Amino acid sequence: MQDVLKALGMSDSNRGGFSGEWTGSGKIQAVVSPIDGAKLADVANVTPAEFEAVLARCHAAFASWKLVPAPKRGEVVRALGDELRKHKEALGTLVSLEMGKALREGLGEVQEMIDICDFAVGLSRQLYGLTMPSERRQHRLQEQWHPLGVVGVITAFNFPVAVWSWNTALALVCGDTVLWKPSSKTPLTAIACTRIAEKVLRDFGYDPAICSLAIGKGSEIGDLINTDPRVALVSYTGSVPGGRHVGRLVQERFGRHILELGGNGAVIVSEKGDLEIALRSIYFGAIGTSGQRCTSTRRVIVHESIYPAFRDRLLDLYRKTPIGDPRMDGNLMGPLVDRAAVETMLAAIETVKVQGGKVLFGGEKLPNAGGCYITPCLVEVPGNLPIVKEETFAPVLYLMAYRTIEEAIALQNGVSQGLSSAIITNDQRESELFLSAAGSDCGLANVNTGTSGAEIGGAFGGEKETGGGRESGSDAWKAYMRRQTSAINFSGQVELAQGITLEL
């Protein structure tokens, strides 16, 4: 642990606030690894007064950062990506230690950060506006995009570094400054990332407060972010109830928000699909990151003709799941993030039994020092029972049968979340129907690949209670800028739109 902290410029005791200088004299939090319950390091939270100073500096930094040409801002993001390459091993290991995901997934998460930096460097030369034909003679109509301000980035524990980078790489090239409030479950990785950004900004001679940090309780520091008009955009990743609260507060002051909330991913397995692809995609989607991805596969909807055989094959895989220390290569599943998550999973299993589900396997706590290991659970259900409609953030997979493709799509869409979905089929009519307006109602709809593991190139996000936000690739950058439309008259005369005449 000491080597990892040292490689990232950290120590046993760290301060949780940054805006050009490190601050934090609030509550000291001992960060414990879910892998074995061992203490990793201490973090001092920021007080509300320290938060005020952090925000004031981050806001002040915007005044000069927004004037730096976008391609020059892109150079900073290129250097950020290079630093992340250098620190990939250490940062990926810290992600695994602090959050409990498999080491290869921790390294994959850092790779995702590098990828979004590369994407954003190109983007820094492509913040395109439009020109439109004007209805008036010798007039020009154009749209351009300007920096927005401070982006408050509030992140969930399960992707402790990638979500910050999705937001930060884009915000930086867009000319915004960033104030990050990470999950209190993963503060160390946030300090590590902020140190990396600090070094890069200092190397270039820019104000390091451009990437600020404030670690503290969501109900305290989070609410200060939600309610402060200096924060132009709040990009919030977390649960649906949390997003509902954040959305209300930010909307009240007419701030902008990006809401990336809970999912309830489903895979439809057609009798015309490749069952090996289905098994692998579903198994990884359900147990990867111990079922703690917003895009995790939580429901499988299988054609009745292949249902018994498919269920038995999946059950076989579940029985053999290697569970243990996520740093060991052979283990496919590590711990849940904390004991509370284990209790939530056990409670959901009890509820589904009462509601008519049949547990086929799993839900057994494993003896371990940290107390966070549990076997993945496979449950047979007659359809979307009330508990199935909820997002239980744990490796519980509900299995149900369907008769017609229309029925399968209705089951897939029959929940309040709308993030990720997939169909496994080799029938083009089925896959096109699934992708059509009559098909999946989710922000992500895949064919012959699972619900999780999105690439950074596409816009990421979901519909309905998932919040409607988009971040990462495609044109998601537009949420981080303000649009300005201009009419430019070079006629030397006054001509009004809509043919209105003005006789003086």
Which listed residue (98, 105, 260, 430) is catalytic? 260
Q: Indicate the residue among 425 and 451 with the shorter CB distance to ligand NAD.
A: 451
The answer to whether residue 372 is catalytic is no
Q: Indicate the residue among 376 and 443 with the shorter CB distance to ligand NAD.
A: 443
Contact call for residue 289 and ligand NAD (CB under 6 A): no
Tell me the C-alpha to C-alpha distance, in Å, between residue 321 and each of 3, 277, 289: 31, 18, 13
Contact call for residue 184 and ligand NAD (CB under 6 A): yes
Q: Shortest approach of ligand NAD to residue 157 CB, angstroms?
A: 4
Contact call for residue 288 and ligand NAD (CB under 6 A): no
Secondary element (H or E) of residue 196: helix 187-204
Instruction: Please give the structure tokens belonging to residue 470.
Output: 């988009």
User: Which of 32, 15, 14 minimizes the C-alpha distance to 23?
Assistant: 15
Q: Are strands 231-237 and 481-489 parallel, antiparallel or unpaired?
A: unpaired
Burial class (CB in 10 A: 0-12, 13-18, 19+), 455: exposed
Among 231, 419, 424, 459, the residue binding ligand NAD under the rule CB under 6 A is: 419
Cα–Cα dist 401/404, whole Å: 10
Among 106, 247, 262, 273, the residue binding ligand NAD under the rule CB under 6 A is: 262
Among 145, 157, 283, 373, the residue binding ligand NAD under the rule CB under 6 A is: 157
Cα–Cα dist 322/61, whole Å: 49
Find tokens 């997939």 and name the residue.
422
Q: Count how many residues are written for the chain.
A: 504
Contact call for residue 158 and ligand NAD (CB under 6 A): yes
Contact call for residue 51 and ligand NAD (CB under 6 A): no
Q: Indicate the residue among 450 and 462 with the shorter CB distance to ligand NAD.
A: 462
312-371 binders of ligand NAD (CB under 6 A): none
The answer to whether residue 109 is catalytic is no
Contact call for residue 29 and ligand NAD (CB under 6 A): no
Q: Indicate the residue among 333 and 433 with the shorter CB distance to ligand NAD.
A: 333
Cα–Cα dist 165/163, whole Å: 5
Sheet (strand 139-147) strand order: 131-132, 139-147, 481-489
Contact call for residue 152 and ligand NAD (CB under 6 A): no
Q: Are strands 150-154 and 139-147 parallel, antiparallel or unpaired?
A: unpaired
Tell me the C-alpha to C-alpha distance, in Å, between residue 11 and each of 41, 42, 418: 7, 9, 41
Contact call for residue 495 and ligand NAD (CB under 6 A): no
Q: Indicate the residue among 62 and 157 with the shorter CB distance to ligand NAD.
A: 157
Stretch that binds ligand NAD, among 114-122, 154-162, 274-282, 396-404 (CB under 6 A): 154-162
Contact call for residue 155 and ligand NAD (CB under 6 A): yes
Tell me the C-alpha to C-alpha distance, in Å, between residue 235 and each of 183, 209, 476: 13, 18, 12
Contact call for residue 18 and ligand NAD (CB under 6 A): no
Q: Indicate the residue among 217 and 365 with the shorter CB distance to ligand NAD.
A: 217
Query: Number of residues in contact with ligand NAD, rule: CB under 6 A?
Result: 31
Sign of CA dihedral 464, 108, 343, 360: positive
Print the binding letters for residues 213-232 with ligand NAD: x by CB under 6 A, - otherwise. -----xx--xx--x------
Q: Indicate the residue among 150 and 408 with the shorter CB distance to ligand NAD.
A: 150
Contact call for residue 473 and ligand NAD (CB under 6 A): no
Contact call for residue 260 and ligand NAD (CB under 6 A): yes
The per-residue DSSP string of 317-375 comes to HHHT--BS-TTSTT-SB---SSHHHHHHHHHHHHHHHHHT-EEEE---B---SS---B-
Q: Own/partner pairs for 404-407, CB < 8 Å, 24+ apart? A: 405/268, 405/270, 405/430, 405/433, 405/434
Among 25, 142, 144, 239, the residue binding ligand NAD under the rule CB under 6 A is: 239
Catalytic sites, residue numbers:
260, 294
**Which residues contribute to the site for ligand NAD (CB under 6 A)?**
154-159, 181-184, 218-219, 222-223, 226, 237-239, 242, 245-246, 260-263, 294, 391, 393, 419, 462, 466
